[in-house]
Amino acid sequence: MNRLVPKSIIPGLLMFGRALSVAGCCALPAIAAAQAANPFQTGAESLVTNFTAIATPFAVLAIMVLAVVAMTGRISWAWPVGALVGIGVIFGAPTIVTWVRGLFGV
């Protein structure tokens, strides 16, 4: 009976191995959460980013045109102001959604 490890140390090593495996299993969800989000969330974020990048020049041009037309007296100033508020809401939608979700604790 020639053993490399004394018999009294084996239960301690088994307990250490069990504790290590439990800690590893508990850490797996944290590792999985640290990885990339699901495909729907990634696609939605990409869509919002691309829409914002494409729509920004059009929004600037629309406000400029509406302001010039309002300055010449062809339309009331309510149109450029309304367009400005609408553009602010559209481009601020992700921030507004985050604020409302935080407000309700979701």
Residues 6+ apart with CB under 8 A from 80: 63, 66, 67, 70
Same-domain status, 43 and 92 = yes
Three-state SS letters, the chain: CCCCCCCCCHHHHHHHHHHHHHHHHHHHHHHHHHCCCCHHHHHHHHHHHHHHHHHHHHHHHHHHHHHHHHHCCCCCCHHHHHHHHHHHHHHCHHHHHHHHHHHHCC
Same-domain status, 22 and 47 = no
CB atoms within 10 A of CB 55: 14
pLDDT tens per residue, range 9-55: 555 545 555 555 555 555 555 555 555 678 888 998 899 899 999 99
Same-domain status, 27 and 43 = no
Question: Which pLDDT value is given to residue 25?
Answer: 52
Please state, in angstroms and rounded to a whole number, the distance separating the CA atoms of residues 106 and 97: 11
Same-domain status, 3 and 48 = no
Same-domain status, 55 and 69 = yes
Same-domain status, 29 and 44 = no
Same-domain status, 48 and 25 = no
pTM > 0.75: yes or no: no
Same-domain status, 45 and 95 = yes
Same-domain status, 16 and 50 = no
Question: Which pLDDT value is given to residue 41?
Answer: 86
Same-domain status, 52 and 97 = yes
Q: Which tops the pLDDT comparison, 22 or 104? A: 104
Same-domain status, 15 and 50 = no
- Our count of domains for the chain comes to 2
Same-domain status, 52 and 8 = no
Domain limits for position 5? 1-35
